[in-house]
């Protein structure tokens, strides 16, 4: 214990493989703190073709929002509490530094976030000499209403897409994106609804991303057989989308409860792909 009682001792548990499959592709959940796990991966010179990160948004600080028509407190968990702008930025810089190290030379990093976190992420990327390639706006056609009526209704999230450095050459499946977009260049505003009910049959996570967003990210910047890392796996959306698209994946999540949820979703995706019954995601 630290002599200074203002510091709380945090016990970091040793990371462990929570779950792993090898068919139809490799998909692994590591239960643990992503800083510890990424340090170990760096030591082993592991590289990834793509990293998707959906970090804490630092917005669980007593506000209110609307959920299923009811007023609820914004409290997604301790992991989402703000430490103040300076410490939040240090946190972001530290995990981003590790992501940069883990990217293959052609690899890219996608980070999703709201205004609470995205400016710090963008600034840290610049401080780390990464090159920001796009600022994609994910527009939600069905956002929850703004209860107090004092601001515009929040209906977007930002996806920052970056490569390792100014000089590195990144992968972009331009033609495929154009095809998906009816023969026209894909723009940087994507309209997708929040996750469908069918994506929540295995349990709930407060910030689950829709499979459609992850599928587009994966198709745009990886090829079949590539390997993807998600350091903040949550309910496992990245690994599920990776399985559906024939990519390998590793996800890190510190909460056992969410590892268990991710495991269920991954197992379901695995059996659907093996049976060949996965529904198309883009409708």
Contacts with ligand SAM by CB under 6 A lie at 33-35, 54, 56, 79, 205, 207-209, 232, 234-235, 237, 252-255, 258
If the CB atoms of residues 79 and 172 are measured against ligand SAM, the closer one turns out to be 79
Q: How far is the CB of 97 from ligand SAM (least distance, A)?
A: 14
Q: How far is the CB of 115 from ligand SAM (least distance, A)?
A: 15
Cis peptide, bond prior to residue 152, ω within 30 of zero:
no
What radius of gyration, in Å, describes the C-alpha atoms of the chain?
19
**Cα–Cα distance measured from residue 274 to residue 17, given in angstroms and rounded to the nearest whole number:** 23
If the CB atoms of residues 35 and 172 are measured against ligand SAM, the closer one turns out to be 35
If the CB atoms of residues 125 and 159 are measured against ligand SAM, the closer one turns out to be 159
Cα 205 from chain centre: 13
C-beta of residue 251 within 8 angstroms of C-beta of residue 233: yes
Q: How far is the CB of 157 from ligand SAM (least distance, A)?
A: 11
If the CB atoms of residues 226 and 253 are measured against ligand SAM, the closer one turns out to be 253
If the CB atoms of residues 35 and 190 are measured against ligand SAM, the closer one turns out to be 35
Q: How far is the CB of 127 from ligand SAM (least distance, A)?
A: 20
Q: How far is the CB of 2 from ligand SAM (least distance, A)?
A: 20
If the CB atoms of residues 51 and 106 are measured against ligand SAM, the closer one turns out to be 51
Q: What are phi and psi for residue 123, nearest 5 degrees?
A: -65, -45
Q: Which residue has the tokens 């994609």?
A: 136
Q: How far is the CB of 135 from ligand SAM (least distance, A)?
A: 19
Which residue in the shown chain puts its C-beta closest to ligand SAM? 234
Q: How far is the CB of 252 from ligand SAM (least distance, A)?
A: 5
If the CB atoms of residues 131 and 144 are measured against ligand SAM, the closer one turns out to be 144
């Amino acid at each position: 214990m630290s002599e200074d009682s203002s510091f709380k001792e945090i016990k970091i548990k040793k990371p462990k493989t929570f779950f792993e499959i090898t068919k139809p592709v490799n998909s692994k959940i590591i239960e643990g703190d992503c800083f510890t796990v990424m340090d170990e991966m760096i030591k082993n010179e592991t590289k990834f073709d793509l990293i998707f990160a959906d970090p804490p948004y630092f917005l669980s600080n007593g506000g209110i929002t609307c959920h299923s028509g009811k007023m609820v407190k914004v409290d997604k968990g301790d992991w989402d509490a703000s430490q103040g702008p300076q410490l939040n930025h240090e946190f972001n810089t530290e995990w981003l530094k590790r992501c940069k190290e883990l990217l293959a030379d052609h690899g890219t990093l996608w980070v999703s976030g709201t205004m609470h976190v995205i400016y710090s992420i963008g600034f840290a990327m610049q401080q780390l000499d990464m090159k920001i390639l796009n600022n994609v706006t994910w527009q939600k056609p069905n956002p929850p209403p703004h209860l107090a009526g004092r601001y515009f209704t929040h209906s977007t999230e930002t996806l920052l897409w970056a490569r390792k450095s100014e000089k590195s050459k990144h992968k972009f499946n331009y033609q495929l994106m154009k095809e998906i977009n009816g023969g026209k260049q894909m723009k940087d505003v994507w309209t997708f609804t929040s996750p469908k009910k069918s994506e929540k049959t295995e349990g709930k996570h407060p910030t689950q991303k829709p499979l459609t967003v992850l599928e587009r990210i994966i198709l745009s910047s990886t090829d079949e057989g590539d390997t993807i890392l998600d350091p903040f796996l949550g309910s496992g959306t990245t690994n599920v989308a990776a399985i559906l698209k024939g990519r390998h994946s590793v996800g890190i999540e510190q909460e056992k409860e969410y590892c268990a949820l991710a495991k269920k979703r991954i197992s379901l995706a695995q059996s659907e792909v093996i049976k060949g019954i996965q529904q198309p995601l883009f409708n």
